[in-house]
Structure 1
Amino acid sequence: MTCTVPSQDGEKTIFQGLSFDIDAGEIVDLVGPSGTGKSSLLTAFARLNPHAGGTMFLDGRPSTEFTPQQWRCSVAYLPQKSVLIGDNVAEVIRLPWTLAIRNEQDDSSSDTNHPADPQAHARTRGKRHRSGIWGAVHNGVDMLPDDKIRATLDAIGCEDINLGRAPHDLSGGQAARVSLARTLLTDPKLLLADEVDAGLDDDNAAKVAAILSDAAQRGMAVIRIRHRPPDGVATRTVTLDEGGLR
């Protein structure tokens, strides 16, 4: 995996020739100094980085055999800044399901058996997705009932967040955990978490670590960018520095 970005001097190589593998059920912490390209590496894995290139495999299949949507149904990127689209928390969390329903109705998806990726759709939702979405919401409720959302939020320390609360009323830490809950409920094979516990107190950071550990025990692979002290959850720690992994 290589990432080269434009710079004043022409091009700047962020990292080059990186090799990385992760097994189902592993939690790998990705650490390193700020500015070394950790977020760039995660977005490359998610096929969201136009400056990165390389060969990736999922369950033995090359990424070229997946459409971007198919890839992101299995490989979920959780960015530092949460993207919360909807009038309330329940609607925000159900967005992948309502998008999947809309895609099925429009016949625009080649894989409608999984929730869609909200991060990839955030910039392209527009009027076409907005119109008629309320007709699909009741199906989203059937697929993801309130009690399942409630249980997931409670597990990561969001007992005080009402499902009817507007997303713009959430603090940064609350918004990050709502985004995490949404991503976990889509049940990806690989979760790429970019500082998901940043800004949380120790108790809530421990709750986030516990739910990620539970997900890993069910077979989900997790890569976490972290700047906190080790929490004992990671299977191993990998350092990105000076363009290389060690």
Structure 2
Amino acid sequence: MSTLLEARHLSAGWGGCAVLSDIDLDLGAGEVLGLLGPNGAGKSTLLRAMAGDLAPLAGELVLDGRPLSAWPPQARARRVAYLPQASSLAFPFTVHEVVMLGRLPHDAGRRADDAIVAAVLAWTDTTHLAGRLYTLLSGGEQQRVQLARVLCQLMHSSPEEPLEGRLLLLDEPSAALDLRHQQLLVDTVRDLARRGCTVVLSLHDLNLLSSLADRLLVLAGGACRALDTPAALLTCEFLGELFGTELAVQPHPLKGYPLVFPLD
């Protein structure tokens, strides 16, 4: 498996104050990495640094063998798509117009753009919303539209093209989604990974994270606490120490990955 993204002694934060310190990480093509940790651990900061929105205070990020800071913005936008925890839009754009914003870094032509937009609207169950004003949608509908926008950004000329060399960064993508659309999110991420896309996502829902991630990067106090598989890390003892609460862990009855429950 080829390495797509490397973090080397990465520190990041704001105003010279580090929120993250000394992070080392290698991510391969088609890998799904889950970020796990309590509030304020640095998960969103790491995603912003990986997206190129936040310059490192120390160390570096390397995308496909080239320092991330050396990528021209448009070229980086063709390779890296980032969905932040909250996306605000005050203008009365339609859903179709919002999703089409994901095509701005590309020059594949109108026919390719239309095919990709149609595909991602279907994948996110937002086709029926295409003509609606984004500002009038529910929170869950807006989240699906924003997911469609970043999926649009990942593809250059076809919705079915291989995605090796692309990086998708998702910060709490299941926020406000109902159960059906959470499963749709899971299916979409798995399909992208099968096609070679590298995915890094932060989720407070440990069971969704367990079902999706090949590995978990555990952050605590801005430092790497552990990096291993969900099966190795999602234990009562480790989670109890990390979050300061008692939890029960049982294997999924069909798939075998760990499921986490409140003890009471």
TM-score (norm 1): 0.74
C-alpha spacing 1:176/1:28, structure 2 compared with 1 (3 Å): same
Q: Secondary structure at the match of 2:143?
A: helix
**Which of 213, 220, 239 is equivalent to 2:197?**
220
Contact map agreement 1:191 1:222 (CA 8 A) in 2 = yes
Q: Secondary structure at the match of 2:87?
A: coil
Alignment: residue pair count = 203
| Corresponding residue number in structure 2 for 1:48 | 53
Task: State the AA in 1 paired with 2:93.
Answer: D
**Which of 67, 75, 94 is equivalent to 1:70?**
75
- Post-superposition CA distance 1:134-181 (Å, at most 9, x none): xxxxx64x3322x6534423333435x421111111112111111111
C-alpha spacing 1:53/1:143, structure 2 compared with 1 (3 Å): farther
Shift of 1:87: 2.4
| Corresponding residue number in structure 2 for 1:185 | 152
Shift of 1:52: 4.2
- Post-superposition CA distance 1:120-139 (Å, at most 9, x none): xxxxxxxxxxxxxxxxxxx6
Shift of 1:90: 1.1
| Corresponding residue number in structure 2 for 1:167 | 134
C-alpha spacing 1:164/1:201, structure 2 compared with 1 (3 Å): same
Gaps of 5+ in 1: 101-111, 115-138
| Corresponding residue number in structure 2 for 1:200 | 177
Task: State the AA in 1 paired with 2:221.
Answer: E
Contact map agreement 1:5 1:51 (CA 8 A) in 2 = no
Shift of 1:83: 4.5
Identity of aligned residues (%): 33
- Post-superposition CA distance 1:182-207 (Å, at most 9, x none): 21122260011000012212221111
| Corresponding residue number in structure 2 for 1:95 | 101
C-alpha spacing 1:12/1:52, structure 2 compared with 1 (3 Å): closer
Task: State the AA in 1 paired with 2:11.
Answer: T
Q: Secondary structure at the match of 1:55?
A: strand
| Corresponding residue number in structure 1 for 2:12 | 3
| Corresponding residue number in structure 1 for 2:24 | 19
C-alpha spacing 1:82/1:66, structure 2 compared with 1 (3 Å): same
Contact map agreement 1:83 1:179 (CA 8 A) in 2 = no
Task: State the AA in 2 paired with 1:178.
Answer: V
| Corresponding residue number in structure 1 for 2:231 | none
- Greater shift, 84-93 or 70-79, is seen at 84-93
RMSD over aligned CA atoms reads 2.3
Shift of 1:27: 0.8
Which has the higher relative contact order, 1 or 2, with Cα contacts under 8 A spaced 6 or more apart? 1
Contact map agreement 1:36 1:243 (CA 8 A) in 2 = yes
Shift of 1:208: 0.5
Task: State the AA in 2 paired with 1:186.
Answer: Q
| Corresponding residue number in structure 2 for 1:237 | 216
Contact map agreement 2:81 2:151 (CA 8 A) in 1 = no
C-alpha spacing 1:2/1:148, structure 2 compared with 1 (3 Å): closer
Task: State the AA in 2 paired with 1:89.
Answer: V
Task: State the AA in 2 paired with 1:222.
Answer: V
| Corresponding residue number in structure 2 for 1:149 | 117
Task: State the AA in 1 paired with 2:46.
Answer: L
Contact map agreement 1:44 1:52 (CA 8 A) in 2 = no
TM-score (norm 2): 0.69
